[in-house]
Amino acid sequence: MTEPIPPELAAFREEHGGDPRQTSSGIPVEVLYGDAADVDGLGLPGSYPYTRGVHSEMYRSRPWTMRQYAGFSTAAETNERFRYLLKAGQTGLSVAFDLPTQIGYDPDHDLARPEVGKVGVSIATLDDMLELLDGIPLDKVSTSMTINATAVVLLALYAAVGKEQGVAGDALRGTIQNDILKEYSARGTYRFPPRPSLRIITDIFGHAAEHLPRFNTISISGYHMREAGCTAAQECGFTLANGIAYVQAAVDAGLDVDRFARRISFFFNAHNDLFEEVAKFRASRRMWARIMRERFGAKDEKSWALRFHAQTAGSTLTSQQHENNAVRVTVQALAAVLGGTQSLHTNGRDEALGLPTEASAKLALRTQQILACESGVAATVDPLGGAPFVEELTDQLEERAQAIIDEIDGLGGAPAAIEQGYVQRGIMASAYEHQKGVEAGRSKVVGVNAYTEEEPAPEAIFKVDDRVAEARVEHVRKVRADRSAAAADAALAGLDKAARGQENLFPRVLECVEARVTIGEICEALEAVFGRYREVPVL
């Protein structure tokens, strides 16, 4: 016998079910399903605590943003890849920078040359950024930039390009990762010590709240900690603990929590265990809503809502039978969508071998488009919500993640926990246990320790031409020779003065990039004041 529809759910359907959907058999699909217990326990989509999604209609009203992470070699070559993906239907840009750019070295630095353009695009000057975004209207396309230690420079470069295009700051949309804490524990592209790094981050929060109000000024990343080996519960706990540290730092700096919190976003990994991943996303939303409302006293509902980008798991891709990776990516993408992601990147099937080819990048994008257009998963909100297995996993993950946050609080917060090696040891222990399971055959990986076979050598692998580095060296030296030396020196002097005082750093960095000061020169100036971070052994 069909249970009566609770009044709250009936009202929700009446308000949000105006765009009728149906299955191939003609069965109507409602905007939301559940019973009275679901409504009482889970709430409604778009409402606190956002377990069922941050938007009332989720993908029924608009699909998630499809971002394919791209960047290699020079700005001109990456611009071509951007145009290729946009033409194929990508709806947002996601920029990969090379290691020198991420750490703040110019291409002609001795440490930079072997890595120029290898794992991302090489950006050192405003001219590079103008070339990277040539022909891309920044008032219509949102851009995500995976950049951390040097995020203040790249955001300044982006804002400067916006000015060149005549796009006002309040029309620029996108995200900078700007999450330095996970760099110390899992990734390693840091430059400055934690405390000045937190100052840079809060300066970005303060400036952007007034001048770049539609830009997400941080994307707190669990992705890289998961790639390093942590579990789903650890990814949730460590990420939210870092989020607490950033909000606390901004509040301590005198910022009103509701002034910046709505521009905080998150970045999570999507792994193979479909139901656990869905539960992780749902638990993270619920926990963050409570943290912001109860711990920090945020009053704006938008400050409570955890919005996130997801990327499929690079660490799960195999060089053996690498075509199988397309299947793994599909399962992982489905988990992200069922879990309610706001944007998604799907990895290329050949990324365990090298940079993705154009064909692989297009197939990865088509994977998202097939999910959105053909699978039916976007027809209703939170389709797995209320399922006993999913709800039990959601509760269990929240309980385990909360225990991690409590332990980190007891150590003095995320920065202190990182300094004491707590996070690093947790990640390493989980990674070790997983690898032991693979080597013992307890954890099956198709093509690696199950269903193995002899394989021919892989097809041609996409690699960056080594001559790119020399061309980049010549370019950056020419920029230095052609610019106004007086303007560059004055801008650097202003930056030095701001770093030694309390002035917000962002306007000074913007002055530098507009004077054609390079990313390496800006970071050297900041390092002269802030110092350089040296990793502390944790074993």
Q: What DSSP assignment string belongs to 40-78? A: HHH--TTSTT-TT-SSSSGGGTSPPEEEEEE--S-HHHH
CA distance 415 to 182: 10
Burial 19-50 (b: 16+ CB within 10 A, else e): eeeeeeeeeeebbbbbeeebbeebbbbbbebb
Q: Residue 92's pLDDT is what?
A: 87
Q: Are 346 and 326 in contact (CB under 8 A)?
A: no
Residue ranges of alpha helices (H) inside 342-466 are 358-374, 388-410, 414-419, 422-440
Residue 51's closest CA among 370, 373, 282?
282
Nearest-angstrom CA–CA distance, 148 and 218: 9
Using CA atoms, how far apart are residues 289 and 129, in angstroms rounded to an integer? 36
Longest CA–CA span in the chain (Å) reads 81
Single-letter code of the amino acid located at 465: D
3-state secondary structure of 234: helix
Mark the ranges of the chain whose per-residue pLDDT is less than 70: 1-3, 459-460, 539
Residue 539's pLDDT is: 65
What are the phi and psi torsion angles at 73 (to 5°)? 55, -125
The whole-number pLDDT of residue 1 equals 39
Distance, CA of 124 to CA of 101 (rounded, Å): 7
Residue ranges and CATH numbers for the domains of the chain are 7-42 (no CATH), 58-373+385-440 (3.20.20.240)
DSSP class per residue in 183-213: IIIII----S-HHHHHHHHHHHHHHHHHH-T
Beta strands (DSSP E) in 120-241 are 143-145, 174-176, 215-216, 218-221
d(CA 465, CA 118): 9
Q: By C-alpha distance, which of 122, 119, 178, 118 is closest to 149?
A: 178
Lookup: tokens for 208? 């952007």
Residue-wise pLDDT for 412-452, tens only, equals 999 999 999 999 999 999 999 999 999 999 999 999 999 99
Structure tokens belonging to residue 253: 């700096």
Given 3-state DSSP classes, what are the helix, strand and coil percentages for the chain, each rounded to the nearest 5? 55, 10, 40
Q: Output DSSP code: residue 138.
A: T
In degrees to the nearest 10, what's the CA dihedral of 61, 303, 39, 375? 30
The DSSP symbol for 171 reads G
- Asked if 65 contacts 58 with a C-beta cutoff of 8 angstroms, the reply is no
The pLDDT, as a whole number, for residue 537 is 77
The DSSP call for residue 409 is: H
